[in-house]
Amino acid sequence: FGKTEVAMRAAFMAVHSGKQVMVLVPTTLLAQQHYENFKDRFADWPVKVEVLSRFQSKKALDKVKTGISEGNADIIIGTHKLLQQDIDPKRLGLFILDEEHRFGVTQKEQIKKYRAHIDVLTLTATPIPRTLNMSISGIRDLSIIATAPARRLAIKTFVLQWDAEKIREGMLREIKRGGQVYFLHNKVEDIDRVAREIEAILPEAKVAVAHGQMRERELEQVMLDFYHQRFNVLVCTTIIETGIDVPTANTIFIDRADKLGLAQLYQIRGRVGRSHHRAYAYLITPPQKAMTKDAVKRLEAIESIEDLGAGFTLATHDMEIRGAGELLGDEQSGQMQEIGFNLYNELLERAVRALKSGKEPSLNQSDRHFVEIDLHVPALIPSDYLPDVHTRLVLYKRISAAADNEALHELQVEMIDRFGLLPDQVKTLFAVHELRFKAKQIGIRKIDVYDQGGRLLFEESPNVDPMTIINLIQKQPKKFKLDGQDKLRFVEDMPEAEDRIVALDNLLDALLNKSA
């Protein structure tokens, strides 16, 4: 809700700055609808709005193209025709991509011919995984409209098998309150047969058919008649999926919903419930045995997510299922599975942070976040303390991701509260992580400690004063010695885990006291 309003305001600002605006939409119907809305909205302003779609004659299209290249057209709304080679805007400033999930990577690569010197505004209720990934990682800005319009209600969703009585009941309820009904059947070959079945089930209804293979004028007329409530049931294909706004239509039946994708189902369901009336969506499916496992999962997800504006949540699920795609190429799966999602995100975040601070992104050792500490004693969460493997893994992740000692302390309190007093192995685990913060501050890469002594391996340029190390060696030559340029060895009797932790803590404190 509200995306078109954002687009209109952005377009208005761009036009008033002397720039042209292009609005790319996936279907001819939506192009026509946006054209009418933009024209009405800017009727009192000296803004010239044009449309490029198959509803126009060749002569009209040529005239619009000339207007674009000469700079006479301020706002140009169109389908894929906008991406053709002969479209050459004179002073393009803003490119608006509406219903972005309907465009493939190939089309997005074509948009790049304008990309260098313009702003791009992408609108969608369900962003595709690649775009969502870019937004989450900070490469693109993301803005979510989470506040629904006043009095807007969530759509009630039901999954059912074909039942003439229930279909009649659902349609009759809508028609009796003065509303209209969509019946979506996504096969053009037998759509007329389905329309006749609907007429037989509900003789009181006026039924019409709309699909993408109809002639332009005919399709335009049907949609116009439906908008003006000249009939009350529209049997159609997924041509209505994107952006069609008919506030009086508040019930939709989706035939063979198991054949449609998750984002697609969400989009189609969003064609109803666009006013203050309660809307209903009926997903008609075959018996569960006849559906694939994925189809069942999709239907369960769409039925459970009833909140307003849940498209973002849905898109996140989609990203987890399908992968996030390459950021720069046109591969859909990307290389993420090679290194794992978390490491990939960490590397990406580090590169974005470096670029934002004006540095060159680096993946070398000095940029590592992790300090390896091996005390040669058990430092783990034992299974007899916490039997559930999944919970143990989650806690390991939370401990390693803790930002400071305070966060570690809170985690310890939480674990004692949930699972009882900490065993020695868990205490050692927390102590190792506390030592890691100090070691990272100094610039230590690796620490290895055993019962008779240990060694510290420094980074290339550690944050420690060389005199501090020299003083340590001079005062206790039997205990400390340098091994090469980057290793400090020490000898000490430390039979127990606690002895090793205390000795290492004291040594790190000594290095930190006079650290640069």
The Cβ of residue 474 has, within 10 Å, a number of other Cβ atoms equal to 10
- How far CA 456 is from CA of 94, 439, 471, 507, 508, in Å, comes to 56, 9, 16, 10, 10
Res 291: pLDDT = 84
Q: How confident is the model at residue 195 (pLDDT cuts 50, 70, 90)?
A: very high
Res 516: pLDDT = 38
Give CA–CA dist 173/123, Å, rounded.
33
Q: Say if residues 305 and 315 touch (Cβ distance below 8 Å).
A: no
Res 209: pLDDT = 92
Q: Say if residues 497 and 377 touch (Cβ distance below 8 Å).
A: yes
User: What's the mean pLDDT when you consider all of the chain?
Assistant: 82
Res 42: pLDDT = 93
**Span 308-342, pLDDT tens digits:** 555 566 666 555 555 555 555 545 455 555 666 66
Q: Say if residues 318 and 262 touch (Cβ distance below 8 Å).
A: yes
Give CA–CA dist 96/111, Å, rounded.
10
**Span 458-513, pLDDT tens digits:** 888 888 888 888 888 899 988 999 888 889 999 999 999 899 999 999 999 888 87
- How deeply is 70 buried, as exposed, middle or buried, from its count of CB atoms within 10 A (0-12, 13-18, 19+)? exposed
Query: DSSP character for 289?
Result: G
Judged against a pLDDT cut of 90, whether residue 20 lies above it is answered with yes
Res 365: pLDDT = 43
Check residues 140 and 48 and name the one with the higher pLDDT: 48
Q: What is the DSSP string of 2-13?
A: -HHHHHHHHHHH
Mean pLDDT for 88-114 is: 77
Return all residues near 184 (Cβ < 8 A) that are at least 6 apart.
Answer: 236, 237, 238, 240, 252, 253, 254, 255, 268
Give CA–CA dist 253/268, Å, rounded.
10
What sign does the dihedral 254-131-76-18 (CA atoms) show? positive
**Span 249-296, pLDDT tens digits:** 889 999 988 888 777 787 788 788 777 788 888 989 888 888 888 788
Return the bridge partners of 202, or none.
none
Give CA–CA dist 75/11, Å, rounded.
7
Give CA–CA dist 377/354, Å, rounded.
37
The highest-confidence range among 74-88, 316-330, 350-364, by mean pLDDT, is: 74-88
Mean pLDDT for 37-42 is: 93
Q: Which of 180-184, 208-212, 329-333, 445-449 has the lowest mean pLDDT?
A: 329-333
Q: Which residues of 182-203 are buried (b: 16+ CB within 10 A; e: fewer)?
A: bbbbbeeeebeebbebbeeebe
Q: Say if residues 32 and 51 touch (Cβ distance below 8 Å).
A: yes
Q: What are the residue ranges of helices labelled H in 228-378? A: 262-269, 293-304, 311-322, 336-339, 341-356
Res 422: pLDDT = 92
Total count of residues recorded for the chain: 516
What backbone torsions phi and psi does residue 275 show, to the nearest 5 degrees?
-140, -155
Q: Which of 8-12, 218-222, 320-324, 441-445 has the lowest mean pLDDT?
A: 320-324
The Cβ of residue 347 has, within 10 Å, a number of other Cβ atoms equal to 15
Give CA–CA dist 175/205, Å, rounded.
8
Q: Are strands 207-210 and 75-78 parallel, antiparallel or unpaired?
A: unpaired
Give CA–CA dist 76/47, Å, rounded.
11
Q: Which residues of 143-169 are buried (b: 16+ CB within 10 A; e: fewer)?
A: eeeeeeeeebeebebebeeeeeeebbe
Res 443: pLDDT = 87
Q: What are the residue ranges of helices labelled H in 138-292? A: 164-176, 191-201, 216-227, 262-269
- Written as six digits, the tokens of 298 are 């999709």
Q: Say if residues 153 and 278 touch (Cβ distance below 8 Å).
A: yes
Query: DSSP character for 492?
Result: -
Res 233: pLDDT = 92
Judged against a pLDDT cut of 50, whether residue 366 lies above it is answered with no
Judged against a pLDDT cut of 70, whether residue 410 lies above it is answered with yes
